[in-house]
Amino acid sequence: MPVLPCPPFRHLPTRCRPDGRINGLTARRLLGTVATAGLLLVFSQVYAGATDIERGGYLVHAGGCISCHTADDEGGGPLAGGDALVTAFGTFYAPNITPDAETGIGTWSDEDFLRAMHEGSRPDGAHYYPVFPYTAYAGLTIDDVMAIKAYLFSLPPIRQRNRAHELPWYLSSRLAAGAWKLLFFTAERFMPDASRAAPWNRGAYLVHHLGHCGECHTPRNVLGVTDSARELAGNPAGPDGKKVPDITANRDTGIGRWSADEIEFFLELGMLPDGDFTGGAMSSVIDDNTSHLSAADRHAIATYLRSLPAAPAGDNSGS
């Protein structure tokens, strides 16, 4: 098992190995470890030269923070709190994540921020509902999370009070969110696959963790747990009750007939292979997220998506 750098915080349930045992490793495992370390190094060097704030700004776009945390419809300030996100479990309002001390996250320490992103907990210990994709962000490197914080804290604070979520009584307690977390969540940092090339690993990191594509494209069960057997296979009940398409390599229901170019072009401009342009929720994802990515990152996403097995027939794309 490769050794990940350990975070300095004891409470973080990581899978790192503080003892870093080398004795007893077979040559093959050692090789795997070295290759993985190499990939991690490549990862951390991708944006070498950019400051943390610049890198964080890029990651905030790639992480889709803006789409949910900005109230476009109501003319709210950037990242000062979002429009209603209507789900099968109630209506959520993403909070203010500008550095305003009173209404935003201005008083948060690095540890507070890491705990929110990796563990889904507020500084006061209350649990986030999994509508905040901490389940995906748990895979982010600590460097990336800290760069995101650096960027957010470089923004002008906006004073805007958070709106309370509108939830049914049985979900209105944060204890429900805690119970959900206990049952269905394990914090796992992303582990590059040493047998794959760097773009594939970068794509996996972007799709599963930073971009959290599965939050909409993977169906959920009645308890809101994403169905890992149907990962990215389309979701009949996405946000706002909309159907979300299959993005696996299934040639009929998914994007199996799309070339890498077509996927990259779609992520950049929103143009489908037939010349149509997407609308709906994906339109914001393109405007706020994927159009801001580097060509290399869009290529990485395409590389990774095209490597996924075609989803088996079923309720793909909610059809």
Partner 1 sequence: MRRRTAGITTILTIGACLLPTLGAAAKPADTIKYRHAVMEGMSAHVNAFMLIATNKIDGRQFLQNHGDAIADLSGELDSLFPADSAPSSGGSEEPETHALPAIWDESEKFAAAVTKMQEAAATLQETTRSGDNKAIMGAFAAAGKACKGCHEDFRAEEEDDHDHEH
245 binds partner 1 (CB under 8 A): yes
The distance of closest approach from Cβ of residue 233 to partner 1 in the complex, given in angstroms and rounded to an integer, is 12
252 binds partner 1 (CB under 8 A): yes
Task: Collapse the DSSP code of 177 into the 3-class scheme (helix H, G, I; strand E, B; otherwise coil) and give the result.
Answer: helix
212: left (phi over 0), alpha (psi -120 to 50) or beta: left
Position 185 contacts partner 1 (CB under 8 A): no
Q: Which H/E stretch holds residue 92?
A: strand 90-93
The CA-CA-CA angle for residues 218, 222, 223, to 5°, reads 90
> Given the complex with partner 1, which of 156 and 241 has the nearer CB atom?
241
Spatial distance between the Cα atoms of 28 and 7, rounded to a whole number of angstroms: 27
- Residue 242 binding partner 1, by CB under 8 A: yes
Closer Cβ to partner 1, 20 or 280, answer by number: 280
Region of 60-68, 167-175, 207-215, 246-254 interacting with partner 1 (CB under 8 A):
246-254
279 binds partner 1 (CB under 8 A): yes
Cα distances from 41 to residues 4, 56, 60, 271, 284, in angstroms, run 12, 18, 21, 34, 32
DSSP lists the bridge partners of residue 93 as: 84
Q: Is 163 in the site for partner 1 (CB under 8 A)?
A: no
Report if residue 269 touches partner 1, rule: CB under 8 A: yes
- Residue 248 interacting with partner 1 (CB under 8 A): no
Is 243 a binding residue for partner 1 by CB under 8 A? The answer is yes
Q: Can residue 166 be called a binding residue for partner 1 (CB under 8 A)?
A: no
Q: Is residue 275 a contact residue for partner 1 (CB under 8 A)?
A: yes
75 binds partner 1, rule: CB under 8 A = no
* Distances 111 to 13, 207, 313 between C-alpha atoms, Å: 14, 25, 44
Distance of alpha carbon 217 from alpha carbon 237, whole angstroms: 9
How far CA 212 is from CA of 65, 99, 100, 135, in Å, comes to 11, 24, 26, 9
Based on the shown chain and the rule CB under 8 A, indicate whether residue 261 belongs to the binding site for partner 1: yes
- 219 belongs to the binding site for partner 1 (CB under 8 A): no
Binding site for partner 1 (CB under 8 A): 242-243, 245-246, 252-253, 261, 265, 268-271, 273-281, 283-284, 286-287, 316-319
